[in-house]
Chains A and B, each alone.
Chain A
């Protein structure tokens, strides 16, 4: 199985954010903060994370959610967690 690249993950995350929160795809850039820039609150983050777990076959425990401030944080965590 090929590992997902950061770009694959970013694209997938953008699709998920669009579906869950209606976030315009062009706003989903690594430096974008979920709260301040994308107006995604902590409950919507749960939905985003659950969708990411299903899509990328990873597990993101609740404790890890706290550290996900930006899109870049999420991409890095998911990319590192995707099974090889």
Chain B
């Protein structure tokens, strides 16, 4: 079976950033309460021309450049998203066309906030099985199109943005760059987080989601490390879905991560960007130089479905 490697990451953060001020006025809250409740200070707000496809292509182009890969060499483009303007068509063919990935297959992945880690697992498996040599995995969301801006429980939580990663077949020996995935679902709790209605609006039972995330996910994280042949203490960094800083801190505590492990806290600047949050947070750590090439990083996506997927990757 082939080895795979993560060879580049890229991010598109909307130019317009918004702090909590206007949101507080609208829902009758305070900056202090929002920060205490979620850790969020600002979030990205996509402009009309920053569509899901455009942002995915922007992040994807940066990831391809970082990896030194020509678009024509991409075999498969995946797009994880839940915020395309309609159910058809998916965005991935347009992303592939936009980038000039003329030889690529293209498919959207719908796994809520776990979309990127699911797509990454499928990308790695596609390469191992011989269907691809180079896969571009993108995740892009315009969640603010779907948020109920008057809902005191959710209006402040979400943001827009896109992230991407290039996964390639590699020769030679060494640790696999994308470790075996550990995934689970809890479809019995599907109703806890949904985008539905006319117009489409996001509704979430935050406390129940918090309970699920903080109780069900530590074992996914531990198993992902175990399957990658690592102890949790071997990790250089932990990049959970940036749902809420309170969930992150609870997971850090449950996993007993030492201060030596870098923890992604991009939610503070970006809010919850659903599927885009993991690649955005990973790209931020790479940009800041907080992780180095080859470092083992645990990615953990989780959310609507309910569904979760995590794997250890080697930093590009």
Q: How many residues of B contact A (CB 8 A)?
A: 12
Kindly name the residue among A46, A49, A50 whose own CB sees the greatest number of chain B CB atoms within 10 A: A46
B250 touches A41 (CB 8 A): no
Is A41 touching B36 in the complex (CB atoms < 8 A)? yes
- Which residues of chain A come closer than 8 Å to B246, judged between CB atoms? 43
| A5 CB-CB contact with B under 8 Å | no
Contact yes or no, B36 A46, CB < 8 A? no
A44 to B, closest residue via Cβ: B246
CA distance in complex: A45, B214 (Å) = 12
Which residues 31-84 in A have Cβ within 8 Å of B in the complex? 41-43, 45-47, 49-50, 62, 65
Given contact pairs A42-B207, A62-B207, A62-B208, A47 touches B250 in the complex (Cβ within 8 A) = yes
Is there contact, CB below 8 Å, between A43 and B210? Answer: yes
Is B215 at the interface (CB under 8 A from chain A)? Answer: yes
A47 touches B214 (CB 8 A): yes
Q: Which residues of B contact A41 (CB under 8 A)?
A: 36-37
B211: chain A residues at CB < 8 Å are 46, 49-50, 62
| Shortest CB distance A47–B (Å) | 7
CB distance A46 to B207 under 8 Å? yes
Residues of chain B contacted by A47 (CB below 8 angstroms): 214, 250
A65 touches B36 (CB 8 A): no
Q: How far is the CB of B272 from chain A (nearest CB, A)?
A: 14
Measured CA separation A43–B211 after assembly (Å):
8
B215 touches A43 (CB 8 A): no
Give chain B interface residues in 12-62, CB to chain A under 8 Å: 36-37
User: How far is A47 from B215 in the complex, measured between Cα atoms in Å?
Assistant: 9
Knowing A50-B214, A50-B215, the reply to whether A43 touches B37 (Cβ < 8 A) is: yes
Q: How far is the CB of B214 from chain A (nearest CB, A)?
A: 7
Query: CB-CB < 8 A to B37: which residues of A?
Result: 41, 43
Render B196-209 as a binary contact track against A, CB cut-off 8 A, 1 for contact: 00000000011110
Tell me the bound Cα distance from A28 to B208 in angstroms.
Answer: 25
B-chain residues with CB within 8 Å of residue A42 when the two chains form the complex: 207
| Chain B residue, CB-CB nearest to A50 | B215
**What's the least CB distance linking A39 to chain B, in Å?**
10
Fill in one digit per residue for A5-47: 1 if any B CB lies within 8 Å of its CB, else 0: 0000000000000000000000000000000000001110111
Q: Which residue of B lies closest to A39 (CB)?
A: B36
Chain A residues with Cβ under 8 A from B205's Cβ?
62
Q: Which residues of chain B from 153 to 210 have a CB within 8 Å of any chain A CB?
A: 205-208, 210
24 sampled A-B residue pairs with Cβ under 8 A: A41-B36, A41-B37, A42-B207, A43-B37, A43-B206, A43-B207, A43-B210, A43-B246, A45-B207, A46-B207, A46-B210, A46-B211, A46-B214, A47-B214, A47-B250, A49-B211, A50-B211, A50-B214, A50-B215, A62-B205, A62-B207, A62-B208, A62-B211, A65-B207
With A47-B250, A62-B211 given, can you name 19 additional A-B contacts, CB distance below 8 Å?
A: A41-B36, A41-B37, A42-B207, A43-B37, A43-B206, A43-B207, A43-B210, A43-B246, A45-B207, A46-B210, A46-B214, A47-B214, A49-B211, A50-B211, A50-B214, A50-B215, A62-B207, A62-B208, A65-B207
